[in-house]
Each structure stands twice: as C-alpha cells, then as structure tokens.
Amino acid sequence: MTERIWFSEPNIEDFSKGHKNTAVDAMGIKVTEIGDDYIRGTMPADHRTFQPFGLIHGGANVVLAETLGSIGANLVIDPSKEFSVGQEVNANHVRGVREGYVTGTAKLAYRGRSSQVWEIHIEDDKGRLSCISRLTMAVVPLKR
C-alpha cells in the first residue's frame, strides 16, 4: 500500500473553482483524480492547445505539467505556515499528439524543507508516453 502524502484531504472541486478564468480553464485542463501519492489531470488535444502543425504545443504540455505539480506541491505542506511556487520546469516531448486528450500524472520525487521536485508523465489516449516533465518548486514561509 502506498503512503498518503497530503497534508490535508484534497478536494478536486476546489481546484475547478480556483482555475476559473485562468489559462488552465481556457486550455480545458481538468484535475481528474487524486491518489495517495499522485495527482492526475487531462488536457484536450485541440485548437486551444495546438501549435501550427496540428500537434499539441510543447508549452501546453508544460502548462499541464506545472499545473499538476504545483497543486501537489501545495497539498503536501501546511498552508497556514508556507506556500510553494514554481522555480524551474523542463520537458522532454517524445511523441506528438494530434487528437483526443492527454493525461498527466504528477508524483513527488523529492521533498525537502525549502524545495520539492515533481515528475510528471503525460500520455496520449492509448497510454503512450508523450512528454516527461520535471518541476522544481520553492517552499516559501508565510510572513507573519
């Protein structure tokens, strides 16, 4: 059995409300599942996320990856004491996607006092790897 990593019980509905009228909303990104140690979400492969050649734009993959990793990073800390912000993100795009949806799964790879590293795998509708991303998050104490 996998150990639960969240500071408090996550609620998918809260993320939907918080992303209203943002890039996440405009691109059709949805958080679909929160497991004991991962967050999963989808993004459509359509006109909102394509580059000119009819493939998902690499930057759209990065938005999906950073969205999922950022949510996770803020769920493993005590929000009354600190918050997490993106520090660095990279992505390797290994397969183009022309239709359907992509699904990203974010997992915590490293957790320290002042930083976290998240690994996000993005797959197409057939479960084939499309992108691997790594996100480094800074953990910032709240000012009192």
What span, in angstroms and rounded, lies between the C-alpha atoms of 138 and 73? 9
Q: Report whether 91 contacts 67 (CB < 8 A).
A: no
Known active-site residue 119:
no
Q: Report whether 115 contacts 137 (CB < 8 A).
A: yes
Q: Which residues contact 134 (CB under 8 A, 6 or more apart)?
A: 89, 90, 91, 109, 117, 118, 119, 120
Which residue among 9, 33, 66, 99 is the active-site one? 66
> Kindly report the CA angle at 41 between 22 and 77, in degrees rounded to 5?
80
Task: Tokens for 49, please give them.
Answer: 């996320």
> Kindly report the CA angle at 104 between 38 and 9, in degrees rounded to 5?
30
Give the residue numbers marked as catalytic: 66
